Amino acid sequence: MAKGLDVGTMNIICATKGNGLISFAQQRNAFLEMESNELTKQMLDNGKVLYTHKGNNLNVLGEDAFKFSNVFNKHIRRPMKQGIISPDEKDSIPMIKVIIERVLGVPDKKDEILYVSVPANPIDNQLNVLYHGKTVEALANKLGYVTYPIDEGLAVVYSELSDSNFTGIGISVGAGMTNVTVAYMATPIVSFSIARGGDWIDEQVATATGMAKERITSIKETDFALGSEYEIGSVQGAIAVYYDALLTYVLQHLKRKLSETAPPDAEFQVAIAGGSTRARGFMEMFEKRLKETNLPIRISSVKKNRIVSPSGTDSRDPIYAIARGCLIAALSKEASLAPSPEPSPEPHVSKFSAQKPEPVGIANKS
């Protein structure tokens, strides 16, 4: 069974297909260190909480890390920063390994194909994306998968733009990075990343307002909408300012990169994905800034994502687009490697009968 894996700064998501439906397994890419004792371990085991044991401490991983951080008023730790494995966190790789093992599981068969998302080379930072990509590939290979990398932006194109023959612009606005790919018939023309995303917005607002970054993140996710009128000096107003700054920054870089190439004469549809696009009013602001940018290509439309309620889940939620695109790439690779079926032998017709052979059917079992 082919699989797709999105290794993001905020979430690690696996996509699989069975019975004609795509399903997702998801864990937050975070962990929380706690003191270890028998009662705590028993509580975690009973609750089927994902954790590791190290010396006198426990590391609670995934979504439960956020829950426990609120209960015990402790800061969570993040294995990734700015879209790649954090060089400042010594336990990054062991924690990512455990989370990947939880969402992926072991392969169902030998040589099972997995496509994993990796960031494109950043154009505004010297981040070591090569080391990150090779490390994530190695972690998946150790589980027994045959692993291939795919740029995040191209995964968005695969996920969302089949109706335009995979011609268009895929943009993933994640927590750590923004990835952009311009593709023509599924072939990348331009591919790059920006070392800014949702975390950058939170950090800038925290600096401007003096409020804790975690509190900014909470307000952004629960009590904020782009396009709303907010009081001057409010946290929400500052969030809107930096969302606008991020979109302008990304689109200006896209315009510059397109001016350095010779794109084909075609119409390009735009698809947006990533957790940082879930803010209400995001698409309206994006479309406005896109028109003002005057890209040197023809834009046919912007593909709008569904609005998902905080308590609901939806496979078309933009947070799942990258994992779905990775899965589509994996399924395509799997089909290309499958042996061609042998041609059916000609049916034998008795020389004593001029009748055509009856078609073979399957009897209904009563």
Domain identity same for 190 and 206: yes
Phi, psi angles (nearest 5°) of residue 35: -70, 140
Domain identity same for 115 and 51: no
Q: How far apart are CA 366 and CA 349, in angstroms?
A: 32
Q: Which two tokens stand for residue 19?
A: 């019975």
Using the Cα atoms of residue 331, residue 333, residue 339 and residue 345 in order, give the sign of their dihedral. Answer: positive
pLDDT in tens, the chain (366 residues): 899 999 999 999 999 998 889 999 999 999 998 888 888 888 888 888 888 888 788 899 988 888 888 777 788 899 999 899 999 998 999 999 999 999 999 998 889 999 999 999 999 988 889 999 999 999 999 999 999 999 999 999 999 999 999 999 999 999 999 999 999 999 999 999 999 999 999 999 999 999 988 889 889 988 999 999 999 999 999 999 999 999 999 999 999 999 999 999 999 999 999 999 999 999 999 999 999 999 999 999 998 765 544 444 455 789 999 999 999 999 999 999 887 666 555 444 333 333 333 333 333 333
Is residue 114 within 8 A of residue 138, CB to CB? The reply is: no
Residue 247 lies in a domain: yes
Domain identity same for 103 and 189: yes
Q: How far apart are CA 117 and CA 326, in angstroms?
A: 7
**What one-letter code names the amino acid at 365?**
K
- Count of Cβ atoms closer than 10 Å to residue 344 Cβ: 6
Domain identity same for 130 and 235: yes
Q: How far apart are CA 219 and CA 242, in angstroms?
A: 14
Q: Which two tokens stand for residue 8?
A: 């993001």
Number of domain units in the chain = 2
Residue 236 lies in a domain: yes
Domain range for 58 is 30-36+44-77
Residue 184 lies in a domain: yes
DSSP 8-state class, residue 114:
E
Report the predicted TM-score, pTM, of the whole model to 2 decimal places.
0.86
Domain identity same for 143 and 212: yes
